[in-house]
Amino acid sequence: MQVLSVAVAGASGYAGGEILRLLIGHPEVTIGAVTAASSAGDVLARHHPQLAPLADRVLQPTTADTLAGHDVVFLALPHGASAALARQLPEGVTVIDCGADFRLTEPAAWQEFYGSEHAGSWAYGMPGLVVEGGVKQRGQLVDATHIAVPGCYPTASSLALATAFSTGLATGDVVIVAASGTSGAGKSLKPHLLAAEAMGSMSPYGVGGVHRHTPEIEQNLTRAAEQPVTVSFTPTLAPMPRGILATCSARVAPGTTTDQLRAAYRDTYDTETFVQVLPEGVWPTTAAVLGSNNVQIQVTGDERVGRLIVVAAIDNLTKGTAGGAVQCLNLARGFDEQLGLPTTGVAP
């Protein structure tokens, strides 16, 4: 099989660096251009000293000409920056966007939450997501040339709840509270992300239904339910570098038992390498998925009030971004889906 040449735009950021970490261990790719905006001209080691095999690489400017000569281009750019660049890339290049530009299918939702013109939608890059008809999204990614990698919160929340909606066990009234590590906010300097502000403290943000991942979660659950689903989503900032722990709740159909819920989740995910439904009584932790492409899930019912509770843990930079992107690369270019992707966490 031909080794693919791969470029990473936005390589100086957290997402770009994580993509490169995974690509270093991928046997079917060679890493070509690594690009940045204001950091162009720097050596990569200045931004990612952990990437020793690429330490001497010089970050090039992010231009279509620099990226065009590759088989695959990963775009790890700020929201709104991918669309114009993607339009300049030639036919035949597989483009995998880690930003939000092409995730939403409804222009009105994009305009409401992002405040700019909708660029369109690409194949949605969550292989294990249950969608219309109870099938998985995976089939839409085989041979895809343009892929939109999901957001980190939607990855955890959608995989936590889609099964319940697809099977008719969940009926609505969705409430999600999720804690994320500080790397989810990117590398830009922000006062509330200083160690003195964030360490030893938790804080909410995007409260009141305004977080930009809300319409993406609603879109995914609506597809699974095949009817509109709305979500109350509250993110929080946790004093850790990586990880997301999402606690997801919904009303269930009358008479639904915990055993029924667990059976449905086992049926959905028993064949998914990267999604583990934990043994009863064992709860997900962010430490257990650190550095891996895994999603750990535990589901139970609060039968007294007629609700299900699903807790999901991911590494926001691996499964939540870069791991999901490389998984999509494997499907799009005919590789084994697990190639180059870690299935064990780093703990303690």
213-260 per-position pLDDT tens digit: 999 999 999 999 999 999 999 999 999 999 999 999 999 999 999 999
Best CA proximity match to 252, nearest among 174, 156, 135? 174
Show Cβ contacts of residue 37 under 8 Å, excluding neighbours closer than 6 positions: 10, 61, 62
Angle of helix 214-225 versus helix 152-166 axis, rounded to 10: 20
pLDDT of residue 100: 97
Distance between CA atoms of residues 321 and 331, nearest Å: 16
The answer to whether 160 touches 311, Cβ cutoff 8 Å, is yes
pTM above 0.75, yes or no: yes
Q: What is the pLDDT of residue 1?
A: 57
Selection from 238, 225, 117 nearest residue 180 by Cα: 238
Strands 244-252 and 146-148 come out as unpaired
Please report where in the chains the tokens 């994320």 appear, as a residue.
Answer: 180
Confidence at residue 102, expressed as pLDDT on a 0 to 100 scale: 98
% of the chain with per-residue pLDDT over 90: 92
Residue-range domains of the chain with CATH:
4-149+319-332 (3.40.50.720), 153-316 (3.30.360.10)
Report the candidate in 294, 306, 213 with the shortest Cα–Cα distance to residue 256.
306
Cα torsion through 40, 43, 45, 46, rounded to 10: -60
Contact 127, 328 (CB under 8 A): yes
Which pLDDT value is given to residue 95?
98
Q: Which residues in the chain land under pLDDT 50?
A: none
How far, rounded to the nearest angstrom, does the alpha carbon of residue 272 sit from its chain's CA centroid?
16
Rounded distance, CA 63 to CA 84, Å? 11
What is the model's pLDDT at position 8?
98
At 189 the pLDDT is 66
The residues that are catalytic are: 152
- Give the number of other CB atoms < 10 A from CB of residue 38: 8
**232 phi/psi in degrees, rounded to 5:** -100, 110
Query: Pairing relation of β-strands 146-148 and 170-180?
Result: unpaired
Round to whole Å and give the CA distance between 283 and 299.
9
CB proximity list for 180: less than 8 A, separation 6 or greater: 152, 153, 235, 236, 237, 238, 243, 244, 316
The pLDDT, as a whole number, for residue 198 is 82
